[in-house]
Amino acid sequence: MKPTPLLQISDLRTRIGAVRAVDDVSFSVSANETFALLGESGCGKSMTALSIMRLLPEHGTIDAGAVLLEGRDLLALPEASMRAVRGGAIGMIFQEPMTSLNPVLSIGEQVGESLRRHRNLGGAALRAESIHLLNAVGLPDAARRISEYPFQLSGGMKQRVMIAMALAGNPRLLIADEPTTALDVTIQAQVLQLLRSIQRERGMGMLLITHDLGVVAEMADRVGVMYAGELVEIAPRDAFFDAPFHPYSRKLFAALPGRGQRGGALEVIPGMVPALDSAFVGCRFAQRCDAAFDLCRSETPAWTQLAQGHTVRCHLAPTGSRTAMPVPTTSVTQAVMGKATALLTVRNLQVHFPIRSGLLQRQVGAVKAVDGVSLDIGVGETLALVGESGCGKTTVGKAIIQLVKPTAGSVLFNGSELTRLGAAGLRAQRSGFQMIFQDPYSSLNPRMRVVEILEEGMMALGVEPAAGARRKAMTRLLDQVGLAQTALHRYPHEFSGGQRQRIAIARALAVRPRLIVCDEPTSALDVSVQAQILNLLKDLQNELGLSYLFITHNLPVVDYLAQRVAVMYLGRIVETGDTRTVLEHPRHPYTQALLSAAPVISGPRPPKIQLHGDLPSLARPPAGCHFHPRCAQAMEVCRRQYPGQTEINSHQMVWCHLANQIA
């Protein structure tokens, strides 16, 4: 007899005003099982979780369905009983720990709140259990951290505190809503390993909400693909990754960047997730589906079982034909670059921020954010700069284009030494280099229309002084980045995240730069929108001969986009070379750890190298090799002396005492 699922959701329908956020959703989660809800933003994944917890926003109602937790219908419980369920029977890890943690309460107070409410602890017992929980989730020095506040913790530490709070009530079901979205690949690996080990120890069921196929591959037992408020495919993990059936599922895979797509365009899902207040007729994916036919537009598909546990909502399913749904591929040619002419040459760049103390604010130290970085970028070339958050990548980018004043070093751009230029000289060079920031919403002025955003830089730097010429240039820019002309008279909040990033790219292009610093431009985007932006950047590079410094921690993006890569750790570059050489044959232990931490969707998995702890402070870097406290191969010389440069071959250089011994 099949055991009763821990969580059973049947025909769930949730509405927020006129928006049908969750529409006829059914699935189950068993004890010791991880069920992953996968899909783009706006598909209803998080709203499904909030419906389970009955934490709906204002005007939100559950119109129909059942949510059974161990046979008890949560939708029938009074609010007083639900308060015992939330944080008790069900724990939830929210997407953004910084906004979920209370900034004015200490870590101990926030963990203790759940212990008091759900386990009736107090006094010394509460403090001891709080420390025990924080130790269990791997928070270093928990006895001291318990009195600290969220702003004093790194992103990975804050996420661990969120996990500790979710576990405080001994839940039987854990809901994890995008638990690793904002984390570096190494911290992501630590958090995922932590969740796996805690699940094994406690026998919990887990509902994992994500748009990251790599995280699904690492964590899930079963997968549910969600689109426009409804599930369209449910399958065991292995069956899903071996043979996804629904056209939407297949397009998500085709949109992933990597070596296989180098030199070609990524698959793009045209259009957007439809508005959920629409009156749907037929399949909701039909307008974006290459395989759609008349029946798809007139009749809603029913569920069809393809194999044991693998069901799909698609009119093509009864044929069982794998060739009935080809995943289209678009090939574009890209010239193979030889030795590119240098556009940017950086030597021994340093950016040190003073630490001041005392009444007279004397300098007592320095944060060595960038400590001797050298790099080159050729005309029409992409150099990727990778590493964990806090290693100094963004500061390098800002110092190169003189948004941050370097402490020392040389920045030679197109033959001009930027560090020696005064304000007027730098202004004359400013149109040659621009920056695309990580979050377009915060970098675009919300009070300015797109036409004003684009025109501002052109007028300030004297590009196209005539109004008519500027208008023609802006029209051409919108065409280049794939936006309609009507976008000129709209404000940033009226666009999706991917469209806002296109506006940010258009703003950078408006002054006709030769070099663009791209600071994590796709980190917060769904895989389909990421594919659109990467295709756009590559097309613009081919068309305009642009050079990119691409700052990221996403290694598949590096593999797809960059010709060369530089790996940065604690203010210094530790390995650099051709992308293929570095990613296939890394010589520095830190590069190897980054590659091993990246989730693998298919193919052989490299041995896991677990990095312990976070980056040391840039104000107090370790003596010798900065990486030695986290390196399993560290020797005595690593603790005493920083390694010099070792040239492995003409395509790869490493700063490591073991460079010639690591294969």
Sheet holding 34-38, edge to edge: 90-93, 173-177, 205-210, 34-38, 222-227, 230-236, 310-313, 303-307
Residue (of 522, 568, 557) closest to 388 by Cα position: 568
Residue 298 in domain: no
Residue 19 in domain: no
Structure tokens at 542: 């081919």
Distances (CA, A) of 260 to 255, 380, 525, 559, 601: 11, 21, 21, 9, 13
| CATH number for the domain that contains residue 617 | 3.40.50.300
Residue 508 is inside which H or E element, if any? helix 497-509
Residue carrying structure tokens 């180098």: 262
User: What pLDDT sits at residue 334?
Assistant: 36
Residue (of 505, 654, 541, 642) closest to 589 by Cα position: 654
What's the pLDDT tens digit per position in 352-410?
Answer: 999 888 888 888 888 899 999 999 999 999 999 999 888 899 999 999 999 999 999 99
Structural contact between residues 265 and 538, judged by C-beta atoms closer than 8 angstroms: yes
pLDDT of 184 over the 80 cut: no
User: What pLDDT sits at residue 479?
Assistant: 87
Based on the structure, what is the number of domains in the chain? 2
Cα separation, 29 vs 69, in Å, equals 10
Cα separation, 311 vs 632, in Å, equals 45
CB count in 10 Å sphere of residue 66: 15
Residue 62 is inside which H or E element, if any? strand 60-69
User: What pLDDT sits at residue 337?
Assistant: 40
Residue 113 in domain: yes
User: What pLDDT sits at residue 615?
Assistant: 76
Backbone torsions φ then ψ of 273, nearest 5 degrees: -60, 130
Task: Output the DSSP codes for 246-303.
Answer: SHHHHHHHHT--SGGGTTSPPP---S-PPPTTS---S-TTGGG-TT--HHHHHSPPPE
Mapping DSSP to helix (H, G, I), strand (E, B) and coil, where does residue 211 land?
Answer: coil
User: What pLDDT sits at residue 597?
Assistant: 87
How many angstroms from the chain centroid is the CA of residue 640?
Answer: 36
Residue (of 597, 590, 588) closest to 615 by Cα position: 590
Of 152, 168, 184, the residue at which a domain comes to its end is 168
Distances (CA, A) of 512 to 327, 339, 452, 546: 36, 24, 17, 9
Least confident of 132-136, 548-552, 598-602: 598-602
**Parent domain of 116:** 104-168
Mapping DSSP to helix (H, G, I), strand (E, B) and coil, where does residue 493 land?
Answer: helix
Span 253-261, average pLDDT:
81
Backbone torsions φ then ψ of 136, nearest 5 degrees: -65, -30
Q: For helices 185-202 and 589-597, what crossing angle results, to 10°? A: 50
- Ramachandran class of 377: left when φ > 0, alpha when ψ lies in -120 to 50, beta otherwise: beta
Residue 214 in domain: no
Q: Which residues pair with 654 in a beta bridge?
A: 575, 646
Span 531-553, average pLDDT:
92
User: What pLDDT sits at residue 323?
Assistant: 40
- Ramachandran class of 269: left when φ > 0, alpha when ψ lies in -120 to 50, beta otherwise: beta
Of 143, 168, 193, the residue at which a domain comes to its end is 168
pLDDT, mean over the chain = 88
Residue 37 in domain: no
pLDDT of 336 over the 50 cut: no
Residue 432 in domain: yes
User: What pLDDT sits at residue 662?
Assistant: 67
User: What pLDDT sits at residue 137?
Assistant: 84
Structural contact between residues 353 and 366, judged by C-beta atoms closer than 8 angstroms: yes
Backbone torsions φ then ψ of 25, nearest 5 degrees: -100, 130
What's the pLDDT tens digit per position in 3-30?
Answer: 679 999 999 999 998 899 999 999 999 9
Running DSSP on this structure, what letter comes out for residue 86? B
Residue 546 in domain: yes
Q: What percent of the chain has pLDDT over 90?
A: 60
Mapping DSSP to helix (H, G, I), strand (E, B) and coil, where does residue 628 land?
Answer: helix
pLDDT of 616 over the 50 cut: yes
| Residue scoring higher pLDDT (388 or 524) | 388
What's the pLDDT tens digit per position in 641-663?
Answer: 999 999 998 889 999 999 887 65
User: Model-level pTM?
Assistant: 0.83
Of 116, 145, 168, the residue at which a domain comes to its end is 168
Residue carrying structure tokens 């899909």: 39
The sign one gets for the Cα dihedral 528, 534, 539, 544 is: positive
Residue 354 in domain: no
What's the pLDDT tens digit per position in 394-414?
Answer: 999 999 999 999 999 999 999
**Do you know the residue count of the chain?**
663
pLDDT of 330 over the 50 cut: no
Cα separation, 407 vs 414, in Å, equals 21
Least confident of 118-132, 155-169, 621-635: 155-169
Question: How many H-runs (helices) and E-runs (strands) does the chain carry?
Answer: 23, 24
- Long-range CB contacts (within 8 A, 24+) of 351-358: 351/392, 351/395, 351/396, 351/399, 351/404, 351/405, 351/406, 351/407, 352/407, 355/619
